[in-house]
Amino acid sequence: MKNFASTITFKYVLIVFTSILLFTASTGILAYGKKSAEPEQSVYFVEPADGATVSQEFNVVMGLKGMSIKPAGEMVENTGHHHLLINEKPIAKGEVVPAGSPTHLHFGKGQTETTVTLEPGQHTLMLQFADGAHQSYGETMRATITITVE
């Protein structure tokens, strides 16, 4: 009788334990899936890669997801153009990306590629997408990398 009872108890504990394990695992997988989901709208560097070492003259290829490119001047929702900020601070959402600055490059014609020449050393490159009036879309449409120029 004692053995029978302990067998039942053991089975019960096993079932409860397995259930908890499965539940934890499934919620864990769900939470992980949510966390790793990429934002629907973003900009990114196709080239160069973060941490890359490049020669003084190098190509920059700008990627865009979830919005479309439109030359500057026209204000259409979810459209805009790229900006490349070299060793600059981020531009807050709604603020205008400065014009006529050698470190704030506008791609107002809708370009997605450019060639940059920099002095040797470490540099920060920041992509900032902005609307037809050059107003920053803020952090969600920004990407930053660090490169070494040799």
142: contact with Cu ion by CB under 5 A: no
**For Cu ion, which is the closer residue by CB, 85 or 149?**
85
Sole window of 21-29, 37-45, 99-107, 117-125 interacting with Cu ion (rule: CB under 5 A): 99-107
**For Cu ion, which is the closer residue by CB, 127 or 149?**
127
- The set of long-range contacts for 134-137, using a CB threshold of 8 Å and a minimum separation of 24, is 134/72, 134/83, 134/96, 134/97, 134/99, 134/106, 134/108, 135/94, 135/95, 135/96, 135/97, 136/91, 136/92, 136/93, 136/94, 136/95, 136/96, 136/97, 137/67, 137/80, 137/93
**For Cu ion, which is the closer residue by CB, 82 or 149?**
82
**For Cu ion, which is the closer residue by CB, 54 or 72?**
72
82: contact with Cu ion by CB under 5 A: no
134: contact with Cu ion by CB under 5 A: yes
Sole window of 11-19, 26-34, 39-47, 130-138 interacting with Cu ion (rule: CB under 5 A): 130-138
Compute the least distance from the CB of residue 108 to Cu ion, in Å.
5
Going from the C-alpha of 138 to that of each of 10, 11, 43, the distances in angstroms are 57, 56, 11
106: contact with Cu ion by CB under 5 A: yes
Sole window of 29-37, 44-52, 53-61, 133-141 interacting with Cu ion (rule: CB under 5 A): 133-141
d(C-alpha 17, C-alpha 70), whole Å: 57
d(C-alpha 146, C-alpha 123), whole Å: 6
104: contact with Cu ion by CB under 5 A: no
d(C-alpha 102, C-alpha 98), whole Å: 10
Give the residues lining the site for Cu ion (CB under 5 A): 106, 134
